[in-house]
Copies of this chain bind each other. A is one copy, B any other.
Amino acid sequence: MNCLEERILKDGIVKEGNVLKVDSFLNHQMDINLFNEMGKEFAKRFEGKNINKILTIEASGIGIACVVAQHFNVPVVFAKKSKSINIDGDMYVAEVVSYTHKNTNQVIVSKKFLSEDDHVLIIDDFLANGCALQGLISIVQSAGGTVEGIGIAIEKGFQPGGQIIRNLGYQLESLAIVESMDASTGKVEFRAQ
């Protein structure tokens, strides 16, 4: 069991509706020491890959991506969820459905920051249905870049996103894959890795 799985068992809270609350250490309050341990683990799992950039999506992917990036010594680009008046020029755009927020966002990345020369590691906090991830992959493809791998903190293994992404041939590494969770008992079970 790795440090993230241990932390989920210690501080994660299972809620009705397949919600796993990890806001005390992952996506509201953020434990930076834990993020560094996660960065070490991703560096090990993607060792030998030619990665020159990390791509993530606002908001809760950003902190993890920035700390993890230090273990690859690369810059981070974060995809934005709505068009800002401070962004000009051409954008790569993908449509992403959010089940959490019950809406559809345009996810955008400036064309200045992704190109055919980029070998990208995608980082995000959660993988469930995989909609956000598919949007990010589509953006890298639009740029002509290469997705070298995908690093996720917590995958909900009982939802289809992980299987879809692995079927597409990507190296997807999730530090904790939740096989099942039960709001009545608070029990969380992980897939053996």
Contacts and interface: CB of A to CB of B under 8 A. Distances in A.
A34 to B, nearest CB: 9
Given A23-B87, A86-B100, A70 B28 contact: no
A29 B114 CA distance: 10
A102 interface: yes
Interface stretch (A43-51, A75-83, A143-151, A158-166): A75-83
A67 interface: yes
A78 B63 contact: yes
Nearest to A20: B86
Which residue, of A15, A30, A87, A113, has the highest number of chain B Cβ atoms within 10 A?
Answer: A30
Contacts of A77: 28-30
Contacts of A58: 58-59, 62
Contact of A21 (B28, B86, B100): B86
A65 B86 CA distance: 21
Nearest to A65: B63
Contacts of A80: 28, 59
A70 B32 contact: yes
A85 B59 CA distance: 15
Nearest to A28: B110
Given A66-B66, A113-B24, A30 B75 contact: yes
20 contacts: A19-B86, A23-B87, A28-B77, A28-B78, A28-B80, A29-B76, A32-B66, A58-B58, A58-B62, A59-B59, A59-B78, A59-B80, A63-B63, A63-B65, A63-B66, A63-B78, A66-B66, A67-B70, A82-B101, A84-B100
